[in-house]
Amino acid sequence: MILKKAGCISVLLLAAVQAASCEAVQPVAAESSAEIGRLLPVTLVRGAKKHVFRVEIADTPAEQARGLMYRNELPADGGMLFRFSPPQRAVFWMKNTLIPLDMIFIRADGKIARIAANTMPLSLEPVDAGEQVVAVLELAGGAAAAAGIGTGDRATWPGGPR
């Protein structure tokens, strides 16, 4: 959903909140043959433990605005990756999102900055990264805990942080 406020256009589903100005979110173009079928393997790493999710990519403004809205379910190893270039302070909401999600905010070095676990379906409350990130990974609510993933762990994907 796009909202006009104080002369700035913000896409609140994925809005990049800039401290001093309102800038358009700059999605990253698809870069890899691994994205065939618009699914991308994202690996979450904690020490020697790895968990691979096959996620949809939300790179265009329309894909990012819709996100995982109106879905009644999400595969256990599925989700959606929102990529930003340059890194941005991402703020999401759960409007029209019918299932709880884990939102994993990922820094440019691939480290997980924050996990907003089991976000409330249909909530208009902002979910803020609290810092600039290169990506947000949305998974089914509880998936991060089930995989044993926490803040400071790493996320990698083809064309992403290594």
The CATH number given to whatever domain includes residue 83 is 2.60.120.1140
What would the DSSP string read from start to end of 67-111?
TTTT-S---TT-EEEEEEEEEEEEEE--TT--S-EEEEEE-TTSB
What are the backbone dihedrals phi and psi of residue 35, each rounded to the nearest 5 degrees, phi first?
-90, 10
Q: Residue 84 domain-assigned? A: yes
Cα–Cα distance list, 9 to 79, 86, 102 (Å): 26, 18, 26
Residue 40 resides in a domain: yes
d(CA 105, CA 37): 24
pTM reported for the whole predicted model: 0.79
Diameter over CA atoms, the chain: 48
User: Does residue 30 lie in a domain region?
Assistant: yes
Structural domains of the chain, count: 1
- The pLDDT value recorded for residue 37 is 52
The pLDDT of residue 38 is 80
Q: Look at residue 1 in the predicted model and tell me its pLDDT.
A: 29
Among residues 89, 78, 141, 85, the alpha carbon closest in space to that of 113 is found at 89
In a domain, 9, yes or no: yes
Amino acid letter, residue 29: A
Taking the chain (162 residues) in runs of 10, the rounded mean pLDDT of each run is 30 33 41 58 97 96 94 96 96 97 98 98 97 98 97 97 84
What SS3 class is residue 22? coil
Residue 24 lies in a domain: yes
Question: What range defines the domain where residue 46 resides?
Answer: 2-156
Structural domain contains residue 162: no
Length in residues, the chain = 162
